[in-house]
């Protein structure tokens, strides 16, 4: 068994969660996207995949007071698993960077290409059709309403994505493509955001008639 398969056997139980936005299906999608982004690039693909498989080992709710430290805690949790899986100290250092730096709330620029790919791949899973589902799931857990019935697009009020989930599209999600580190990530992000904007336009038609 190679080290990635060994690592998967260790991390798989962490993702047996009722949270559909951060479950094993999420990890699988991000891994697939990461492989796509890494194709043809000079990267350690084992480190990229390990970063993906470990990036949500510790996942705190969006409104948790310690949310910004979740990725640091995940990196700490990952270290012994990586060691037991056969990763070298140099590889573990790269994977830890990828885990810590993937976090949106930390606001860090990736310090290596492996970390950049993990960050892009994870953010792409917040966009497109799956992004719509994940946004709904997360905001439902936070007890947010779908939209403000008096001003759904915040044309006359401040955006508040803690209260209204559609606001999160404008606060964060629509901005992600321009924040991508790779050209492939940026292109995929733009395509997925275009789909989301079509969805919002359709929703507004249903709301407003």
Asked if 32 contacts 125 with a C-beta cutoff of 8 angstroms, the reply is: no
d(CA 77, CA 60): 14
pLDDT for 105 equals 83
12-35 confidence digits (pLDDT tens) = 999 998 899 999 999 999 999 999
117-141 confidence digits (pLDDT tens) = 999 999 999 999 999 999 999 999 8
Beta partners for residue 145, in sequence order: 164
Residue 57 is encoded by which pair of tokens? 């080992």
d(CA 93, CA 96): 5
- Please state the φ and ψ torsions of residue 102, each to the nearest 5 degrees: -70, -25
Distances (CA, A) of 49 to 32, 107, 191: 9, 21, 24
Question: Mean pLDDT, the chain, as a whole number?
Answer: 94
pLDDT for 1 equals 55
3-state SS, the chain, equals CCHHHHHHHHHHHHHCCCCCCCCHHHHHHHHHHHHHHHCCCCCCHHHHHHHHHHCCCCCCCCCCCCHHHHHHHHHHHHHHHHHHHCCCHHHHHHHHHHHHHCCCCCCCCCCCHHHHHHHHHHHHCCCHHHHHHHHHHHHHHCCCECCCCCCCCCCCCCCCCCCEHHHHHHHCHHHCHHHCCCHHHHHHHHHHHHHHHHHHHHHHHHHHC
54-67 confidence digits (pLDDT tens) = 999 998 777 666 77
pLDDT for 59 equals 86
pLDDT for 26 equals 97
Q: Among 77, 72, 37, 43, which residue's Cα sits nearest to residue 57? A: 77
Q: Among 84, 91, 11, 87, which residue's Cα sits nearest to residue 44? A: 91
pLDDT for 151 equals 97
pLDDT for 67 equals 72
């Amino acid at each position: 068994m190679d080290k990635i398969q060994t690592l998967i056997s260790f991390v798989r139980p962490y993702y047996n969660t009722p949270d559909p936005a951060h479950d094993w299906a999420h990890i699988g999608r991000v891994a697939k996207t990461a492989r796509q982004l890494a194709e043809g690039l000079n990267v350690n693909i084992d480190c990229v995949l390990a970063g993906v498989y470990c990036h949500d080992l510790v996942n705190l709710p969006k409104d948790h007071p310690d949310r910004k430290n979740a990725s640091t805690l995940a990196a700490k949790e990952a270290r012994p698993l990586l060691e037991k899986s056969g990763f070298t100290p140099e590889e573990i250092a790269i994977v830890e960077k990828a885990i810590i730096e993937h976090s949106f709330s930390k606001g860090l620029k990736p310090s290596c290409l492996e970390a950049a790919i993990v960050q892009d791949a994870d953010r792409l899973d917040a966009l497109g059709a799956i992004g719509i589902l994940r946004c709904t799931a997360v905001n439902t857990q936070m007890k947010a309403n779908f939209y403000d019935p008096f001003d759904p697009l915040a044309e006359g009020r401040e955006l508040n994505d803690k209260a209204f989930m559609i606001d999160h599209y404008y606060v964060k999600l629509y901005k992600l493509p321009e924040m991508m580190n790779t050209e492939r990530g940026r292109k995929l992000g733009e395509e997925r955001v275009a789909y989301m904007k079509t969805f919002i336009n359709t929703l507004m038609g249903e709301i407003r008639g």
